[in-house]
Amino acid sequence: MDLEIGWILLGLPLAFAAGWLASRLDLRQLRIENRQAPKAYFRGLNYLLNEQQDKAIDAFIEAVQRDPDTSELHFALGNLFRRRGEYDRAVRVHEHLLSRADLSETDRHRAQHALALDFLKAGLLDRAEDALRKLEGTAHAEPARLALLAIYERSREWSHASAVAQSLQAEGPARFDNRLAHYLCEEAQAHQQGGDEGAAIDCLRRAIDTAPQVARPRLQLAALQRDAGRAHEAWSTLRALAENCPQALALAAPLVRAVGLAVGEEADARRLLEQANKDSPSIDLVEALVQLDLQIGRPPAQAQQRYLDHLERQPSLIAAARWLAGQQGSPQAVAAPVCRAVEHASRPLSRYRCAACGFEAREHFWQCPGCQAWDSYPPRRLEEI
């Protein structure tokens, strides 16, 4: 009995010493790992600052392997994968974060938003829409709605886009009246293509009420009325356009000329075009006036004089090319090669340019095909900007 107690008394200090030694070894190993993990993390940051994304990803992967519970490293790694276009790897990182039970609610919402951006960048619009809808009521709700708005615009789901824009407008200081008017114009265009003229007109009138300062609804409505044989209604719409959106009259100049002639209001049409051209000279307004003069029987020389008057106010290769083209039948006809050279030089200047991204196009767009911005095309040719 005494012998057993002796062994116990001897074993207790040995067990204590072994435990203490093991704890010291564990602490030493932990300190080593903790020193190594920050080194990998800061090495990754250094590579990132030097725009060495491949090496940064390798360093962050090493840091994540050493400290798999650090959510910030996962976010950094997922964002790097998305920036590099490796969307499948970014999705896996963010889905792994969402699967963790110990993730805080704030980080869970953040991971959900990052996952939605992964799907959006990858072009998986349906999955992006589902992921963004789960962010309703969170701190990421507003950017999620803006992303949803972009999705609905890209997929041309105008009724859904209108609902999202209205919710954004109701809950924030930003105004979406112009966009809502454009959405209604897009719906009107779809109704018109489907043969439902009444629904198209209803959409356009709602668009005018929503944003009276936007030119597109009245311009589109006047064209629809003209095509339907209701020239007098179209003329009233164009008069309202000139009163509310005079800066956009250059876009409507051919329509003003045609409808004015159709309703016998040539003098009024000329007055509208001349006043608009006086306020803001435009080759489109000059061209409409020249064509109007020719159609009511004025001598070609008098009509062509408008190009020279325009050139006196501002230099214009487009006006010069059109004046030269009108001189071909006269005794002072300019040589054809000169006309072709001036016409060729003026052609790029007749384009429209997006003020947001610089995308150039031969026709005017209400939404830029390049950057998707609305109302970013001035109603003036590149030469006149």
- Summarize pLDDT for 226-278 with one digit per residue, the tens: 999 999 999 999 999 999 999 999 999 999 999 999 999 999 999 999 999 99
Residue (of 308, 263, 317) closest to 290 by Cα position:
308
Mean of all residue pLDDT scores within the chain: 83
Higher-confidence position of 13 and 317: 317
Q: What are the pLDDT digits (tens) for 291-310? A: 999 998 888 888 889 998 99
- Whether the per-residue pLDDT at 34 is higher than 50: the answer is no
Listed in sequence order, the residues at least 6 apart from 102 whose beta carbon sits closer than 8 Å to its beta carbon are: 69
Chain CA centroid to CA 318, Å: 31
DSSP assignment letter at 176: -
Tokens of 264: 């016998």
Q: What is the mean predicted confidence (pLDDT) over 167-190? A: 92
How many whole angstroms separate alpha carbon 155 and alpha carbon 149? 10
- Is residue 368 within 8 Å of residue 356, measured between CB atoms? yes
pTM, 2 dp: 0.78
Position 25 scores a pLDDT of 47
pLDDT of residue 69: 54
- Per the CB < 8 A criterion, the answer to whether 166 and 139 are in contact is no
Question: What percentage of residues in the chain have a pLDDT greater than 90?
Answer: 53
Closest to 89 (Cα-Cα) out of 122, 66, 127: 122
Query: Which residue type is seen at 318?
Result: I
Instruction: Name which of 294, 285, 287 is nearest 249 in CA terms.
Output: 285
Q: pLDDT: is 91 or 40 the higher one?
A: 91
The structure tokens listed for 10 are 């001897």
What is the dihedral sign for C-alpha 355, 151, 96, 108? positive
List the one residue out of 212, 209, 149, 211 whose CA is nearest residue 178.
211
Whole-number Å distance between alpha carbons of 56 and 76 = 10
Q: What is the spatial distance between Cα 135 and Cα 106, in angstroms, rounded to a whole number? A: 11
Can you tell me the distance from the alpha carbon of 58 to that of 244, in angstroms, rounded to the nearest whole number? 60
Q: Specify burial of residue 27 (Cβ count, 10 A radius: 0-12, 13-18, 19+).
A: exposed
> What is the predicted pLDDT for the residue at 162?
95
DSSP 8-class letter at 374: B
Q: What is the torsion angle, in degrees rounded to the nearest 10, for the CA atoms of residue 44, residue 46, residue 52 and residue 58?
A: -10
Nearest to 115 by CA among 101, 100, 99, 132: 132
